[in-house]
Amino acid sequence: MGKVAFVFPGQGAQYSGMGRELAELSPAAADVFRMADAIRPGTSEQCFAGSEEQLRETKITQPCMFTVELAAAAALEEAEIRADMTAGFSLGELAALTYAKVVDESTTFSLVCRRGELMQEAAQMVSTSMAAVVRLDNETIEGICAQFEGVYPVNYNCPGQVTVAGLSEKMADFSAAVKAAGGRAIPLKVSGGFHSPFMAEASARFGALLEAVELHESAITLYSNCTGLPYEGNVKELLAKQICSPVRWEAIVRHMIASGVDTFIEVGPGNVLSGLIGKIDKNVRTFQVCDKESFEKCVAEVKVC
């Protein structure tokens, strides 16, 4: 068996009931929910019983997703399954940072709460939306974006799929241009133009918060959304910049595989990252850990190797 990577998902994978089964089966996971509730009362209840509409609010989504991701990682640790390296998609990078022991979980949870608020405030300042563009290469998508002021490629997900953020008033014409080029733009259910210049103020304000935070040396290799490479240099600067910069997910996965990873465990709600990884390289194994069934399957198959 090669190396194992834990990957933590971003906003959009949330669902009502997430994390409940993990809290019931794992004392370590239950401890994470208690930590979250002590800092932000009601977090567990929102994860376990929040409505779909409520969980789509960025200021709620982010602390809830983060809590479930840390709980899933804690359950895996309790089962003696550990990662050789880690990365997270957008919000998930904060969970990866915590898993790698760069920041303690309560400090990061408080930062995530504020990050969600700042990003929601920035999203409300201007009407923006996002779409996943498929069936076109990166260069073609970048070229189409350049034709529209206020439209940007923001997430490089996998071959043939790039997420774009833009002014709402421009997205219909942008989608038409994508269709004319042979592609398809699929609207996403998000509340703002994340990872774009529209998030510049949120990025700056989050950076100011990070100045007071003590960071430690990463316990394992940790990858940056901004560069697609292992973290180097000013970690705080990259974390703040991440909010208004593209996510280089395909590059992260390719570098992990080149470093010996053949098993990816998506730690937290959904299977979005597993799907992207499968499109990047069909020769690696992917697992998800978000409930009792997926946890037990992962533990049984990964421990055998």
Task: Enumerate the H helices of 124-234 as residue ranges.
Answer: 138-146, 168-180, 200-210
> In angstroms, how far is CA 199 from the centroid of its own chain?
16
Give CA torsion, residues 20, 8, 61, 115, to 10 deg.
Answer: 140
Question: Which DSSP letter does residue 107 get?
Answer: H
Contact 75, 39 (CB under 8 A): no
- Which token pair is 234? 């000013």
Neighbours of 67 (CB within 10 A): 30
- Which token pair is 172? 């219909």
Phi, psi (degrees; rounded to nearest 5) at 193: -90, 75
Contact 243, 199 (CB under 8 A): yes
Query: Which residues carry out catalysis?
Result: 90, 195
Phi, psi (degrees; rounded to nearest 5) at 55: -75, -10
Contact 57, 251 (CB under 8 A): no
Name 106's Cβ contacts closer than 8 Å, sequence gap at least 6: 35, 39
Contact 185, 175 (CB under 8 A): yes
| SS3 (DSSP) at 149 | coil
| Cα separation, 69 vs 62, whole angstroms | 11
At CB < 8 A and 24+ separation, what contacts does 105-109 make?
A: 105/32, 105/35, 105/70, 106/35, 106/39, 107/213, 108/66, 109/35, 109/36, 109/39, 109/40, 109/63, 109/66, 109/67, 109/70
